[in-house]
Chains A and B, each alone.
Chain A
Amino acid sequence: MFAKEMVKQSLPLLILCGLGGIVAGSTLGVMIDLIEKIPGLIVVIPAIIAMRGNISTAFGSRLGSAYHLGIIDADNMWNEELKQNIFGSLLLSFLISIIIGILAFITTVIFFSPSLNLRLFALKLISIVLIAGAISALILTFLTILIIYLVFKRGYDPDNITGPALATFGDIITILCIFGSAFLVEAVL
């Protein structure tokens, strides 16, 4: 009986996530020229996606708990609790982005010793991660609040909706942000 219930309730969402994965992967496929051109770019992709997933899912589940605790609801969303959560998540994204950029730079230099201007390379890589991290953080924070608001309005349990919704859209949005910022940085620097 447990098995049937698991198949029935989770399979549609898992299929949706798989389809979202194909869209995310196809975006990566389009990026292939940029990946060839910028060493270290492919290194940061799993890390940025994982950071985004972890921070926004935690943000979403905290807002879910806040709802169950009666701290926020549809009529009382924009309060101090929400602001603290937003600021904490954004600052965390900023710090982790810097760590990802530095780690990707150091490990790429150690493992592949690319014959590049190292300062320019470090600047490029760290800027790409920071811009992608910041923009995806802003978009996903906004999206989470929007999802939570709609969920509250309809009286659903946010715990059942925000996680899978963020998992599906989060990867696609994050990869698009990496693509955009790599394109921008490559054009400017």
Chain B
Amino acid sequence: MIYDWKKIVKHGLPLLTLFVFIEIFAGQILQGEQDTLVKLPIFLISIPVINGVGGNLGSVLGARIASGLHVGYIDIDLKDKTMRVNLLTSILIGIVLYFVLAILIYLVVLFSSTQVGIVPMKFISIVLGTGILLVCVISLASIITAFWSFKKGLDPDDTVAPVVTTIGDTLGIIFLFAFIGVVGI
């Protein structure tokens, strides 16, 4: 038998506890900004989208970099060309995706019973701004985590996804409220 429930719990518990600490911090930011979210539920609806897309893009990029490192067509070098092409593609996909999803969210809310309460231009600028900043930071974090893990002899496939989703959840929420502050509602 190779799997043992004791080992699964022992390996999972420390890292999960750390992530939960960080996520609770993200949750407290949401609680602090609860008035905005109650007044404009469209932003509450956007949060899983912003965080989910960011985390997924980062995980895909990380997995690709990990495979490149394992097979040997990517070097641990911030100037590596293949890595840079991957990074750029990831950011471009992110920009397009956030733009399309922002419009979709706006339309969904417009045709639901929820009050929109914000003009489309402002909403799309806020989500797009948050998304672009988030996807840039997450992509860099993904590459740095993959490089660092590979150097330390850890498998980036195990480390990148949890690190990137946790960073994505926290920074996604922070960036969103920063852009709400900058653009104004």
Contact = CB atoms under 8 A, between A and B. Distances in A.
Interface in B48-76: 48-53, 56-57, 59-60, 64
B28 A43 contact: yes
19 contacts: A6-B60, A10-B60, A21-B51, A22-B45, A25-B48, A28-B47, A43-B28, A46-B51, A47-B20, A50-B20, A50-B166, A54-B165, A62-B3, A80-B1, A84-B1, A91-B9, A92-B16, A108-B31, A112-B31
Given A18-B53, A18-B101, A50 B19 contact: yes
Contacts of B104: 18-19, 22
Contacts of A32: 37-38, 41, 44
A158 interface: no
Nearest to B168: A50
A92 B52 contact: no
B60 to A, nearest CB: 5
Interface of A: 2-3, 6-7, 10-11, 13-15, 17-22, 24-26, 28-29, 32, 35-36, 39-40, 42-47, 49-51, 53-55, 57-58, 62, 66, 69, 71, 80-81, 84-85, 87-89, 91-92, 95-96, 99-100, 103-104, 107-108, 111-112, 163-164, 167, 171, 175
Given A14-B56, A51-B16, 8 more contacts: A14-B53, A25-B44, A46-B169, A49-B48, A50-B169, A51-B20, A54-B162, A88-B9
Contact of B52 (A6, A104, A112, A171): A171
A171 B57 CA distance: 16
A72 to B, nearest CB: 10
Nearest to B74: A2
Nearest to B90: A6
A26 B53 contact: no
B49 to A, nearest CB: 4
A144 B9 CA distance: 18
Contact of B27 (A45, A58, A99, A171): A45
Contacts of A91: 5, 9
B93 interface: yes
Contacts of B9: 88, 91-92, 95
B181 interface: no
Contacts of B50: 21
A3 B84 CA distance: 10
